[in-house]
Chain A
Amino acid sequence: MPADTIPILDVSIWFIAKIFVIFAILLYVVFALVVVRQVQLMTDTLEVGFETEVRLLSFVHLLFALAVLIFAFLIL
């Protein structure tokens, strides 16, 4: 039996770690979605002529989080 395997479950410790990491990134994606929504609400509350850029910033943040999630899913 390899050293990094949990004896009772016979599962690799890195597989468990992968599940935890992906779950954490998933939570982060939810947070990024909340940021996008909050930015939308705030730009409706206040218009100063910089709304497009701020919204774009929040979308880029969400896309970055999604990219990391997919990447982690593929390589781990």
Chain B
Amino acid sequence: MPDIFVNEKPSEVPEKKEEIFKKPETKDEVEKLPGHSHNPLSAFCFYPDGIDFETRRKEEKIVLLMRKHIVTNASWIIIGVIMILAPVVLSKFPILEFLPARFQFVAILGWYLITTAFILEGFLDWFFNVYIVTNQRVVDIDFYNLIYKEVSDAKIDKVQDVTYRMGGVIRTIFDYGDVFIQTAAEVPNFEFLAVPRPNVVTKILEDLITNGEKGLRVKIK
């Protein structure tokens, strides 16, 4: 009797790599961590290498280094490009015609000095505003402007509550948001603004608060 239906042999499905949730112990495991990066301009680095800060203690280990998401730089980059191109475009209009040629030239150089300062300030503001989570503390390094800085920290065991907020089209697309940390330390609130993967940051902080570094559970590929 002919077969009415023959079940096809199941095609071989590639075995899914097992995901392990644990604290990374070896260097190899750290290298495989999602978010681990060797890029000094990275906005999110899990167990970063070769990073140090002024008040770090010998036994202290940096778990997480964050900056504002790279997308947040778009505003000053766009304005910077417009400022660079402005003299070329404005040369079509006789705005500086009343000045002698040598003054016009110095005015353009002055404009480019201001543009340089604007771009430099935008970059340094992003680069030096970092949030660090170590196995002992939460550290917030703020570089408010070119002449003012602030470094504040709180012990992990003083952290009482961690929440994150993510909303809006751009933030959802690029997966970044704000993480708010309430502490019982001298600095009552820490705000990690516009950091990438706020849900991961919150989870890491909660793991650290609950069980210390031993309680850290991360997905290792």
Contacts and interface: CB of A to CB of B under 8 A. Distances in A.
Contacts of A25: 110, 113
Interface in A16-34: 17, 21, 24-25, 28, 31-32, 34
Q: Is chain A's interface secondary structure helix, strand, loop, or mixed overall?
A: helix
A54 B40 CA distance: 11
Contacts of B141: 45-46
Interface in B90-128: 100, 102-103, 105-106, 109-110, 113, 116-117, 120, 123-124, 127-128
Contacts of A64: 113, 116
A39 B23 CA distance: 35
Given A42-B128, A61-B120, A50 B106 contact: no
Nearest to B54: A45
B149 A76 contact: no
Contacts, number: 84
A17 to B, nearest CB: 7
Interface string A38-76: 110110111111100010011001001100100110011
B52 A42 contact: no
Nearest to B41: A50
B14 interface: no
Contact of B109 (A49, A61, A72): A72
A13 to B, nearest CB: 11
Most buried by A among B100, B106, B130, B143: B106
18 contacts: A14-B100, A21-B110, A28-B117, A31-B117, A31-B146, A35-B117, A38-B146, A42-B128, A46-B128, A49-B51, A50-B41, A50-B127, A54-B124, A64-B113, A64-B116, A71-B109, A72-B106, A75-B105
Interface of B: 40-41, 48, 50-54, 65, 100, 102-103, 105-106, 109-110, 113, 116-117, 120, 123-124, 127-128, 130, 141, 143, 146-147, 149, 151
